[in-house]
A and B are shown apart, each in its own frame.
Chain A
């Protein structure tokens, strides 16, 4: 695959379209609770990670997010994501039964790097959730995803999720981002 700088505008527009359609598709699978179909879009070596964010001074802003290998909210491989999905399907996962109502919004999608079959994407997201009668959660942040082209189709090979919240204002995060 051509590196980003060498692509002409038409090639970039085509790739942008393909990337956007993939991200919208997988967001819809999550909102429709088709979690097995969503899992099928993940590579076996996926790293799904949400570090912990802290309020720091501007001088110490490099320490704002925990680093890989330290504590995180999510630090999952494919096997663990399968366990999360299995849990939701267990029939007694009370944080998701009655099910949460979610809507994933993905915007500001930028292709930032291409290495071989791996395309690195940065995007902003808003995950909105309501539960039962009066629970309402809103998570906003940005994601760094790696999409890998395998047999002509995209697979998600990496998802790093950076929330704007430090203190999580929600009772739980039983959803997928």
Chain B
């Protein structure tokens, strides 16, 4: 067969929204990756941590925005700062513990010392070597352009032109975070699981919407009896699509079923429910949940993704960041959330479920990595890289229904609507040269037949 090798970066379109065909080389091309760092990660609001992880002045947590390493820290005025972890002098790292508490950030190279808000406090030899000829005001740590918090979830962007966080999230992104925050007063359980998978970050992201794979990929976990096939392969699917690429995909319950559940759990202490499967549903059956999540959102049992890379699990107990490390590697960071008011038994149950299902040793997640890494590997091949990914399931067969509340959803069977929305949005981000252009040219949330 003749082998053609068109220049990926020069292509008009990587994703054909009309046919669901996606250029596989976006999963391995180095130039595309470099563009993603600039046009997606440096531009987007990125999840940093939950405020409970940095309770006191001086508490810090290291994270990344693309390949920029940042320190998330509470300063002396109790403000959350996001500082680039790089000394103004030579670029060395000024904070090397991944979390903890400190009084300042001290560079181990020449001893430049920075305050918790990034201000340069002192440099050795300022008088004797620099002859007092140094502008310390101008040499603080670089700060993220904007830092903001939504219900305790701290986000940062490196782009001053980014719209305010709540506007960026839109109702779908906010619903995603609400599906953790609405449980009550929550905190992160100590211990962020981190591991590295040899795959492109986008494969880890789009998989969270994929309710086609569990029955096969996770068939062995189903066979052990720890989860039912009905849970892993639910027929009733609900998809919500929001501007800038946020989406929620996965199981949903009908209005009738929701009403039954609200009846069943009314007045019960939900977090102490003996049955874990019921617990996942139980907290979404209160009047408070309906009020916060909305009449459509409250029926979703699916997976939100806050674009670009924050997955929130169904049940709202965990979130996972997919952090890019070059086009061919991704780190997965798991955050686990418990209500402060939980009984010790319920808290134990939640933590056990988190440990047993997800993370590198989790019964479910064990089997995901190789699928993604081998899909990444195929995107490098001359022939296999030229064959497009098929994201065609359900295309043209469903309809976005708008509720009087303003929330909208697609209610259907297993489908690839959210994956198509993710790549359509990704492409719009990649084609925009600025936030202004992205605001101007991004797709509104779809309506009608989809």
- Residues in chain A within 8 A of chain B (CB atoms): 50-52, 54-57, 60, 63, 66-67, 69-76, 80, 83-84, 86-88, 90-95, 131-132, 166-174
Q: B55-93: which residues lie under 8 A (CB-CB) from chain A?
A: none
- Please measure, in the bound complex, the distance between the C-alpha atom of A76 and the C-alpha atom of B369, giving whole angstroms: 22
Using CB atoms, name the residue of chain B closest to A177. Answer: B361
Q: Would you call B365 and A92 a contact (CB within 8 A)?
A: no
Q: How many angstroms between the C-alpha atoms of A69 and B192 in the bound complex?
A: 14
Surface stretch bound by A, among B39-47, B219-227, B236-244, B379-387: B219-227
**A53 to chain B: closest CB distance in Å?**
9
Which residues on A sit within 8 Å (CB–CB) of B331?
167
Q: Which residues of B contact A73 (CB under 8 A)?
A: 193, 355, 359-361
A14 to chain B, nearest CB (A): 36
With beta carbons under 8 angstroms apart, the residue of B195, B336, B367 that contacts A168 is B195
Q: Which of B184-201 contact A (CB under 8 A)?
A: 189-198
Given contacts A54-B98, A57-B100, A83-B224, contact A172 B369 (CB under 8 A): yes
* Residues in A neighbouring B119, C-beta threshold 8 A: none
> When the two chains form their complex, are residues A71 and B97 in contact, meaning their CB atoms are under 8 A apart?
no
Residues of B within 8 A of A167 (CB): 194-196, 331
B348 partner, pick from A54, A69, A83, A84, beta carbons under 8 A = A69
Q: Residue on B with the closest CB to A67?
A: B190
Residues of chain B contacted by A131 (CB below 8 angstroms): 370
B191 near A52 (CB under 8 angstroms)?
Answer: yes
> Nearest-CB distance from A99 to chain B (Å)?
13
Q: How far does the Cβ of A107 sit from chain B's closest Cβ, in whole Å?
A: 23
* Count of chain B residues near A, Cβ 8 A: 47
Q: Chain A residues near B190 (CB, 8 Å)? A: 66-67, 70-71
Q: Is the pair A60, B97 in contact by a Cβ cutoff of 8 Å?
A: yes
B residues neighboring A (CB under 8 Å)? 96-102, 189-198, 216-217, 219-221, 223-226, 331, 334, 336, 348, 351-352, 354-356, 359-361, 363, 365-371, 373
Asked if A52 contacts B373 (CB within 8 A), the reply is no
- Chain B residues, Cβ within 8 Å of A71: 189-193, 334, 336, 351, 354-355
**Nearest Cβ in chain B — how far from A129, in angstroms?**
12
Identify whether the interface residues of A are mostly helix, strand, loop, or mixed. Answer: loop
Decide if A95 touches B367 in the complex (CB within 8 Å). Answer: yes
Cβ of A168 and Cβ of B194 under 8 Å apart? yes
Q: Contact partner of B361 among A54, A60, A67, A173, CB < 8 A?
A: A173
Q: How far is the CB of A96 from chain B (nearest CB, A)?
A: 8
Known: A94-B220, A171-B197. 15 other contacts (CB 8 A): A54-B99, A56-B97, A63-B100, A66-B190, A69-B348, A70-B190, A71-B190, A72-B191, A73-B359, A76-B356, A87-B363, A132-B370, A166-B194, A169-B195, A172-B367
Q: CB-CB < 8 A to A86: which residues of B?
A: 223-224
CB pairs A–B below 8 angstroms (11 shown): A56-B98, A56-B99, A71-B190, A73-B193, A90-B220, A90-B224, A92-B220, A169-B196, A170-B196, A171-B369, A172-B369
Q: When the two chains form their complex, are residues B195 and A83 in contact, meaning their CB atoms are under 8 A apart?
A: no
Contact B98 A55 (CB under 8 A): yes
Contact partner, B369, options A60, A69, A75, A95, Cβ 8 Å:
A95
CA distance A168 to B129 in the complex (A): 44
Q: Which residue of A lies closest to B219 (CB)?
A: A92
Point out the residues of chain B lying under 8 angstroms from A93, CB to CB. 220, 366-367
Kindly list chain A residues whose C-beta atoms are within 8 Å of the C-beta of B334: 71
Q: Which residue of B lies closest to A73 (CB)?
A: B361
Residue of A nearest to B374 (CB): A132
Instruction: List the B side residues contacting A50 at CB < 8 Å.
Output: 361
Q: How far is the CB of A17 from chain B (nearest CB, A)?
A: 32
A66–B189 Cα distance when bound, in Å, is 10
Q: Using Cβ atoms and an 8 Å threshold, which residues of chain A touch B198?
A: 171
Chain A residues closer than 8 Å to B360, beta-carbon distance = 73, 168, 170-173
